[in-house]
Structure 1
Amino acid sequence: MSSTAVQNCRSAVKAQQESRETPLRDIDPDSLVIQLSGHLKSIPLPETLRFGDVCTDHMLEIDYDPATGWSVPVIKPYASISLDPACSIFHYTPALFEGMKAYLGPSGKPLLFRPELNMKRMAASTARLALPAFNTAALLILIKKLVVIDKRWIPSLPGYSLYIRPTLIGTRPSLGVAPSSHAKLFVILSPTGPYFPSGFKPISLYAEYDAVRSWPGGTGAYKLGINYTPCFQPQAEASKRGYQQLLWILGEDRHITEVGQMNFFIVVERSDGDFDVVTPPLDGTILPGVTRASVIALGSLLFSDPALQRYALALKGKRLRMREESITMSRLRSLSKSGELVEAFGASTAAIIAPIGRIGYEEADILLPVHEEGLGPVAGTFYRTLIAIQEGKVDWEGWSVSCE
Structure 2
Amino acid sequence: MASRLSPLRTLPRLASLTRNAPATSSASSLARPLLASQQIRGYKKAPQPMRDVMTGEIIQIPDIDASSLQIQNTQSPKTRLPNSKLIFGKTFTDHMLTIPWSSASGWGTPIIKPYGPLELDPSSTVFHYAFTLFEGMKAYRQEDGTVRLFRPDMNMARMNRSAARIALPTFDGEALTELIKKLVVLDSEWIPQEKGYSLYIRPTLIGTQNALGVGPSSDALLFVICSPVGPYYASGFKPVQLLATTKFVRAAPGGTGGYKLGANYAPGVVPQAEAAKEGYSQNLWLYGEDHALTEVGTMNLFAAFKKPDGSVELVTPPLGDMILPGVVRDSALRLAQDHADGKEVLPGLPEKLVVTERKLIMADLVEAEKNGTLFEVFGTGTAAIVSAVDKIGYEGRDIAIPTGPEGLGPIAKGILDRLVAIQTGEIDHPWSVIASEGKA
The reply to whether TM is greater than 0.5 is yes
Matched-pair identity in %: 49
2:131/2:166 contact within 8 Å kept = yes
Provide TM-score, normalisation by structure 1: 0.92
SS in 2 for 1:314: coil
Q: Which amino acid aligns with 1:360?
A: G
1:352 paired residue number: 385
Change (3 A) 1:71 1:324: same
Change (3 A) 1:380 1:85: same
Find the partner of 1:245 among 276, 282, 285.
282
1:400 paired residue number: 432
Q: In structure 2, what is the Cα distance between the partners aligned to 1:40 and 1:303?
A: 49
2:402 paired residue number: 369
Displacement, 1:271? 2.0
Please say if 1:293 is aligned against 2:327. no
SS in 2 for 1:273: coil
1:106/1:391 contact within 8 Å kept = no
The structure where helix makes up a greater share of residues is 1
Please say if 1:338 is aligned against 2:371. yes
1:180 paired residue number: 217
The aligned length equals: 386
Find the partner of 1:313 among 332, 347, 359.
347
Displacement, 1:133? 1.9
Displacement, 1:248? 0.3
Q: In structure 2, what is the Cα distance between the partners aligned to 1:268 and 1:326?
A: 14
Q: In structure 2, what is the Cα distance between the partners aligned to 1:160 and 1:72?
A: 32
Q: In structure 1, what is the Cα distance between the partners aligned to 2:98 and 2:54?
A: 30
1:153/1:191 contact within 8 Å kept = yes
SS in 2 for 1:44: coil
Q: In structure 1, what is the Cα distance between the partners aligned to 2:408 and 2:311?
A: 18
1:131/1:183 contact within 8 Å kept = yes
SS in 2 for 1:199: coil
Q: In structure 2, what is the Cα distance between the partners aligned to 1:109 and 1:212?
A: 43
2:42 paired residue number: none
Please say if 1:151 is aligned against 2:188. yes
SS in 1 for 2:183: helix
Please say if 1:384 is aligned against 2:421. no
2:35 paired residue number: none
1:27/1:135 contact within 8 Å kept = yes
Find the partner of 2:200 among 163, 167, 170.
163
Displacement, 1:319? 2.6
1:161/1:193 contact within 8 Å kept = yes
Structure 1 runs of 4+ off > 4 angstroms?
14-19, 303-306
Q: In structure 2, what is the Cα distance between the partners aligned to 1:304 and 1:361?
A: 35
Q: Which amino acid aligns with 1:399?
A: W
1:5 paired residue number: none
Q: In structure 2, what is the Cα distance between the partners aligned to 1:320 and 1:384?
A: 18
Q: Which amino acid aligns with 1:333?
A: V
SS in 2 for 1:298: helix
Deviations 1:186-214 (A, max 9, x none): 00000111111100011000012111111
SS in 2 for 1:302: helix
Q: In structure 2, what is the Cα distance between the partners aligned to 1:276 and 1:106?
A: 38
SS in 1 for 2:285: strand
CA-based RMSD of the aligned residues comes to: 1.6
Deviations 1:19-55 (A, max 9, x none): 4235212111111000000111111111211110011
2:361 paired residue number: 328
SS in 2 for 1:365: strand
1:106/1:392 contact within 8 Å kept = no
1:71 paired residue number: 108
SS in 2 for 1:403: strand
